[in-house]
A and B are shown apart, each in its own frame.
Chain A
Amino acid sequence: MFFHDFLEEAAQKNALLTINPYTKLILGLGSIVLVLFSPNFIVPLILVITFSVITVLLAKINLKFYLKLLCVPGSFAVLSVLAIILISGGKEELWSYDLLSIFPLSITIESLQKGLLVFFRVIGGMCALFFISLTTPMTDLFGVMKKFKIPELFIDLSMIIYRFIFIFMGKAHQVHHAQLMRLGYSKPKEAIHSFSMLFGSIFITSWDAGEHFINAMDCRCYNGKFAKMVQYNPVEKKSLSLVLIYLIGIIILIIMTTNYNL
């Protein structure tokens, strides 16, 4: 039930952990922006392939886990793209069907093109996003946030939230197990009752944890400051130039494929 630290755990153990986070962010964010500029599905498709290769082969993320992750946005994308293909109109009709004679469904070349573009844009963007989250642990991003002058309050809060997520997930896991062991979810009514109890106990735990947190900070002379780590491994010229070459290549591809039609 609780897959809490999978993403973060993978990120902490990935093979690209030592690469400077800025390099990884330039690659990921740059590609997301370029995906939005792409006129048809070819560039996003290439992004999907290259990012999957980078994530699985270079960052050594488990393939099965990666595919499982992609299923989440994938299922959303498939459903919405189906709707786009069937509903939006066009000139060259390939297939049509009159549903209950008031709701015409048709597939046209144009709608197919639009559907493919949206689908690969979504997946391409998600691949780039997964690349960032699977190779750059949250703890590295806090330092980046500080460098970009994001308000301290916001960073401190997100650090506390980040720390608490794991405490709560651990607690929820324990309570859930304790309930399972005493057959807490064996009947539907029982399950609803147990589930509400689980959340009740997490609420109390969070209250308690907050209290402990303040105590722990006071014990160490809390004065409104949180230490942040801003030192990273230096930017490697080789990896940075590879990233830039890749991005430039994508830009050239976009320009070249502007006039391509299905």
Chain B
Amino acid sequence: MDTLIRIQNLSYAYSYSPPAIQQINLEIKKGEKIALVGSNGAGKSTLLLTLNGMIKPDKGQIFFHGKPVTYDRTSLRTIRQKVGFVFQDPDVQIIAPTVWQDVAFGPVNLDYSDEKVNEVVQNALRNVGLEGFERRPPYHLSGGEKKRVAIAGVLAMDPDILILDEPTSMLDPAGSEDIMDLLDELNHQGKTIIISTHDVELAYPWANRIILMEKGRIIASGTPDEAFSDKELVRRARLKTPILLELCQELINRGIKSPMTFPRTALDIIRIIENEHHGSIRLFDEGYGTIHVGDVDQLSGVQVTEILAETICDTVGVMGSKAKICARQWGITPDISYAVIDKCILQAMNGRTSAILTTGGMAVRVFERVTMFNQTNNRSIPVRSLTDTSNSKPEAD
């Protein structure tokens, strides 16, 4: 993987204060999902602000694409375009009187032509699921919608890296899940994403790298289970062990065979227990439930409603911003809108039928994920596409 940002021996202190960050060494690779975890005042925000040149470090150097970052006007512009920063408080970030104007702020200042501005703003708004909000003034939006506007404003500048400072701190749980799902979607589109948070339950299943910070220093950096397994580190960073990890450790203490990888989701835990149990804990006579996958690009609202009525799905999951908009328009209330695939597999293992509504690229991901799950676990959960119901052949064995 390409290294996007390399940080060497970085230190910075706000005036009249002890150092906010010191001796930071870090490498950020393309396509990573990094969560910077630490208590309040651990230096997360300061570290993030150095990444796009908002703070000039006292000591040390930052390399962007292998070249050292300089702090003159033109190079700052380049780095700020390539490293998008979303502030914790969207009220601070939203500067224009309408959603459209705010999202267009960056592109206009990058001297795009009028047509291009229009195009990128439309794309950004579609990406975050805010089509049709163009003329709305931001003070009329909900917290989650404001956050989306802030993200769209940064996306419109087409950054390689997206930095979000405490993306879910001001949102309700459902809103947080929506934003995390959106971040997954953006990561899937090729953006590198860095978030800071002190919500371990949020960071643990989402990130593929966790960086623990304490008093301005990085004390651990690694996969989520590595970072959170060391109880001493977690205590020093003033955090707590994620409940899934704790559960797994307690199971191991009680003699259940230690798994190859630590569990990240409820599905993983169930698998560990089932392995110990030598087979399914309980399987209905009908066998596994089917997972139906519908592509909202190829289906109309009426069709979907009809199909859902016919197939009698126990759960309906919606994945991705576009599918969520469609579902809202068609009056379908999704039961799941986050970590949809895993939850549907769980349902299927329990003999229940489910349907996932999503868009083209992600529909393929559903098939891949379920097929992989079937292969590694010797299962045969059937996945069917709703789009070609005519031949209705099972896609996975």
User: Given contacts A12-B140, A219-B52, A227-B117, are A138 and B109 in contact (CB under 8 A)?
Assistant: no
List the B side residues contacting A212 at CB < 8 Å. 92
**Bound complex: CA A174 to CA B88 (Å):** 20
List the B side residues contacting A159 at CB < 8 Å. 96-97, 101
Partner of A167, one of B91, B108, B109: B91
Q: How far is the CB of A114 from chain B (nearest CB, A)?
A: 42
**Bound complex: CA A221 to CA B83 (Å):** 11
Cβ of B98 and Cβ of A223 under 8 Å apart?
A: no
User: Given contacts A166-B139, A220-B157, are A225 and B98 in contact (CB under 8 A)?
Assistant: no
Indicate whether A229 reaches chain B with its CB closer than 8 angstroms: yes
List the A side residues contacting B94 at CB < 8 Å. 163, 216
List the A side residues contacting B110 at CB < 8 Å. 221, 223
**Bound complex: CA A142 to CA B101 (Å):** 11
Q: How far is the CB of B4 from chain A (nearest CB, A)?
A: 18
Q: How far is the CB of B150 from chain A (nearest CB, A)?
A: 9
Chain A 215-243 residues near chain B, CB threshold 8 A: 215-229
Partner of A223, one of B109, B117, B134: B109
Cβ of A219 and Cβ of B80 under 8 Å apart?
A: yes
Cβ of B100 and Cβ of A221 under 8 Å apart?
A: no
Cβ of B97 and Cβ of A163 under 8 Å apart?
A: yes
List the B side residues contacting A160 at CB < 8 Å. 95
**Bound complex: CA A142 to CA B81 (Å):** 27
Indicate whether A190 reaches chain B with its CB closer than 8 angstroms: no
List the B side residues contacting A80 at CB < 8 Å. none
User: Given contacts A223-B111, A226-B96, A227-B100, are A5 and B105 in contact (CB under 8 A)?
Assistant: no
Cβ of A216 and Cβ of B92 under 8 Å apart?
A: yes
Indicate whether A258 reaches chain B with its CB closer than 8 angstroms: no
Q: Which residue of B lies closest to A137 (CB)?
A: B137
Q: Which residue of A lies closest to B150 (CB)?
A: A216
Indicate whether A201 reaches chain B with its CB closer than 8 angstroms: no
Indicate whether A162 reaches chain B with its CB closer than 8 angstroms: yes
Cβ of B97 and Cβ of A139 under 8 Å apart?
A: yes
Indicate whether B154 reaches chain A with its CB closer than 8 angstroms: yes
**Bound complex: CA A227 to CA B108 (Å):** 6
List the A side residues contacting B93 at CB < 8 Å. 216, 219
User: Given contacts A139-B135, A218-B54, are A227 and B92 in contact (CB under 8 A)?
Assistant: no
User: Given contacts A138-B97, A221-B110, A227-B117, are A215 and B54 in contact (CB under 8 A)?
Assistant: yes
Partner of B109, one of A9, A220, A229: A220
List the A side residues contacting B77 at CB < 8 Å. 221, 223
Cβ of A219 and Cβ of B101 under 8 Å apart?
A: no
Indicate whether A207 reaches chain B with its CB closer than 8 angstroms: no
**Bound complex: CA A225 to CA B136 (Å):** 21
Q: How far is the CB of A33 from chain B (nearest CB, A)?
A: 28
List the B side residues contacting A209 at CB < 8 Å. 92
Indicate whether B106 reaches chain A with its CB closer than 8 angstroms: yes
Chain A 142-187 residues near chain B, CB threshold 8 A: 142, 159-160, 162-163, 166-167, 170
**Bound complex: CA A216 to CA B77 (Å):** 13
**Bound complex: CA A12 to CA B54 (Å):** 36
Cβ of B140 and Cβ of A221 under 8 Å apart?
A: no
Indicate whether B317 reaches chain A with its CB closer than 8 angstroms: no
Cβ of A229 and Cβ of B95 under 8 Å apart?
A: no
List the A side residues contacting B101 at CB < 8 Å. 139, 159, 226-229
Cβ of B87 and Cβ of A221 under 8 Å apart?
A: no
**Bound complex: CA A142 to CA B102 (Å):** 14
Per-residue contact bits, chain A 21-47, to B (CB 8 Å; 1 contact, 0 not): 000000000000000000000000000
Q: How far is the CB of A227 from chain B (nearest CB, A)?
A: 3
Chain B 52-94 residues near chain A, CB threshold 8 A: 52, 54, 77, 80-81, 85, 87, 91-94
Per-residue contact bits, chain B 253-288, to A (CB 8 Å; 1 contact, 0 not): 000000000000000000000000000000000000
Query: What 13 additional pairs, Cβ within 8 angstroms, besides A142-B97, A219-B87, A227-B107?
Result: A137-B137, A138-B97, A213-B92, A216-B92, A216-B93, A219-B80, A220-B105, A223-B111, A224-B109, A226-B101, A227-B102, A227-B104, A227-B108
